[in-house]
Structure 1
Amino acid sequence: MRAETKGRVMLVDGMALLFRAFYATSYGGYIRKTKAGLPTNAVYGFLQYFFDAVSTFEPSHVVCCWDMGKGTFRTEKYDGYKSNRIEAPLELIPQFDLVKDVVAELGVPNIGLAGYEADDCIGTLASCYSENSEVYILTGDHDMLQLIDENVKVVIMKKGRSNYKVYDLAELLEEKGLTPRQVIDLKGFMGDTSDNYPGVKGIGEKTALKLLTEYGTVEGVIENLHLLPKGVRTKIEADLDMLHLSRELAEIRCDVPVVCQLTEALWQLQRETAARKFQELEFGSLMHLIAEVQDERGIVQIELGDLG
C-alpha cells in the first residue's frame, strides 16, 4: 500500500505541446510574429494548451520537461534512432528557448538533462512524485503509457484544445489489452517508425499483441518459440538482437539524475512577471488566461491596466 496521496502533479511534455502548437497555428502559412519579427506562434499556442490543461486537471504542482538536443544514450546504442526526423522549421527554432523563458516567468520549473530525452525526465519525476502524490502526464506520445501505475495517469492530447484521453491502468487494459510493461514489449516486437527503430521485421501490431496476450512478455514468447507458427518463429529468431535492442530503445528510463523538489513545483502563477512577458511578446489576447487562474480563494482578478 502506498502512502495517502498529497496533491496532484502535472508533468508537461513541453516539446509535445510546442510542436503541436506550431503546426496547429502555421498550417495555413501564417506565422504569428512580434512587430520586431520574432516568431511566436508556437509559444502562443503552447500557452493556450497549457492553461487549458491546468484549468481542466487542476494540479497543485506543475513541472515542464524538455529534450536537450539530439544526442542521447539511445543514439549511442543505435545510430539510426530518430535519424529520419526532419530539421525543425526555421520559424520554430528561436521559440525553443523562448518558450522556456515564458514557462519560467509563469513560475513553473523547466527540467531537462543532456544525454536523455524529456520522456526519461518525466519517467523519473513521475516515479519519485507518485510515492506520495497523484501524477498526471500531459503529452501526445503514446509511449508514455508505459509509465502508468496506481498513482500515475497519462493524459493524451487529441486534436483540438480541451480534447483529452486519460489513461489509467483500467483504461489501458480495456482499450489496448496491455499492461504498462507490455507497452514496452509491444514496441520491441513492432518497432517504431516515428523513432526509426525496426523491431522484428515482418511483425506488426496485430501479431505483437497476439503474442503478448498469449505469452505475457518478450521472455515468455522466446521461451515458447517452439509453439509458434513457423513463419512467426523464423522472423523472431532472425531478429532476436534487434528485438532486445528495440525494447531497450522503447523503455523510458526512470532513474536519471534529475531532481525537482515538490516545493519548487507548487503551482502559484507569477502574475506580474507573466503579464510583463505577455506584454513583451504582444500576447494581449491571452491576458485573460492570467486573470482567470484560480487559487484557493477562487478566481483572482489582477489589474491588467494597459497590458491588454
Structure 2
Amino acid sequence: MGNDNKVLIVDGMALLFRAFYATSYGGYIRKTKSGTPTNAIYGFIQYFFDAIDTFKPTHVICCWDMGSKTFRSEMYDQYKANRMEAPEELIPQFDLVKEVVSSLGVINIGLAGFEADDCIGTLASRLGIDSEVYILTGDHDMLQLVTDLIKVVIMKPGKLNYAVYDIASLLVEKQLSPQQVIDIKGFMGDTSDNYPGVKGIGQKTALKLLIDYQSVEGVLENLHLLPKGVKGKIEADLEMLHLSRDLARIRIDVPIECSLIECIWELSHDTATSKFEELEFGSLVKLLGVSVPKVPKVIIQDLFAL
C-alpha cells in the first residue's frame, strides 16, 4: 500500500446510544446547570477518544441516521417498527452531539432517506480502495463491509474492549465471509430490525445452509437436496427470503461526498475546549491534550502575603 492513511469511520448513533445507557442505568442523568441533559454526549466523547488513542487514525468521519423514515421502511413497512421511541433525555442530545463532533474538527455525515450504515458503507468502500479503514460500531451487520483494507471494530461491553474483524477473523469466529453476513440475514431475519427471514429457520440452520451451499443462490439451486422440512419452509417464504436479504444489504452508492482532505484528523483545540466548557465538561478537557498551566501553591500564598 502506497500510503499510511488510516481512516476511522464512527457510527455516531451506536456510540451515542451506548453512552446513554451506560451512564443512565443508575437513574442519574448528567445535566448542565440550565437543565440540558448531556450524559450521552459525555460518554460519547470518552468512547471517541478511547478509539482515537487505540487506533491512531490519520482521518476521522462521523456518520448519523437522519430520521426513522428510510428507503427500507418504504420497502417493508414493518422495518424497525418494533423500536421504542428514543428516551426523552436523549432527544435533545442528538443535535448537540453533532455540534460537539464539529467542534473537535470532525466532519458529520448523514443523508435523509438512508441509514448511517449506508453512509458508512459508501464512504468505507470509496476510501477503502487505497486507505486502511476502521469502522467503529456496535452493529454486527457492518461485518458485511469487511475487505482486505476495511476492518470492522465492534465495541464490546466495558472500556477499551474491541473486537477487530478482518476477513480471516470473521471466518474463524463467525464461519462467514462478508457476503454471507448478508445471506444469513435473508434466511434467519433480524429481530432487532424486525424483518422475519424464512419462517422457522434460525441461525443454526441458516449457517449450515451457507456452509454447505455458499450463498442464497447456491441453496436455491440445490433445494432438491435439502431435508423436506427445510425445503418446504424456503419454498413457502421465497419472497421474504429475497426481501430480507435486500433489507440486510448495506448500500455503498449513497449520493454523499467526503474526500480524504476533508476528514484529516486535526483536533480543533480552541473550539473543542470552549464547547466542553459550555457543556460543563471541565473534567473532559484533559482529553483534548490542552495543558492548563497550574500556578504553584507557594506563589499563591506569596500573593496573599503581599
- Opposite residue 284 of structure 2, the aligned amino acid is L
2:150 aligns to what?
Answer: 152
Decide whether aligned partners of structure 1 residues 173 and 8 sit closer, same or farther in structure 2, where only a CA change above 3 A counts: same
Per-residue deviation, 1:4: 2.9
The count of corresponding residues between Structure 1 and Structure 2 is 295
1:297 aligns to what?
Answer: none
Per-residue deviation, 1:136: 0.1
2:27 counterpart (26, 29, 53) = 29
Per-residue deviation, 1:172: 0.2
1:266 counterpart (248, 264, 267) = 264
Describe the superposition over 1:177-224 as per-residue Cα deviations: whole angstroms up to 9, x where unpaired: 110000000000000000000000000000000000000000000000
Kindly report the root-mean-square deviation, in angstroms, between the aligned alpha carbons of the 2 structures: 1.1
Aligned mates of 1:174, 1:131 — CA distance in 2: 24
Aligned mates of 2:286, 2:2 — CA distance in 1: 35
Aligned mates of 1:253, 1:4 — CA distance in 2: 27
Decide whether aligned partners of structure 1 residues 305 and 241 sit closer, same or farther in structure 2, where only a CA change above 3 A counts: farther
Q: How does 1:76-115 map to 2 (within 5 A)?
A: 76-115=74-113
Per-residue deviation, 1:6: 3.4
Aligned mates of 1:279, 1:304 — CA distance in 2: 16
2:162 aligns to what?
Answer: 164
Describe the superposition over 1:110-138 as per-residue Cα deviations: whole angstroms up to 9, x where unpaired: 00000000000000000000111000000
Describe the superposition over 1:233-291 as per-residue Cα deviations: whole angstroms up to 9, x where unpaired: 00000000000000000000001101011111000000000000000000011011001
Aligned mates of 2:88, 2:180 — CA distance in 1: 38
- Say whether the 8 Å CA contact 1:6–1:132 is kept in structure 2: no
1:295 aligns to what?
Answer: none
Per-residue deviation, 1:39: 0.1
Aligned mates of 1:304, 1:282 — CA distance in 2: 19
2:13 aligns to what?
Answer: 15
Deviant stretches of 4+, over 3 Å: 301-306
Per-residue deviation, 1:303: 3.8
Aligned mates of 2:294, 2:146 — CA distance in 1: 44
Q: How does 1:167-182 map to 2 (within 5 A)?
A: 167-182=165-180
SS at match of 1:68: coil
Per-residue deviation, 1:305: 7.7
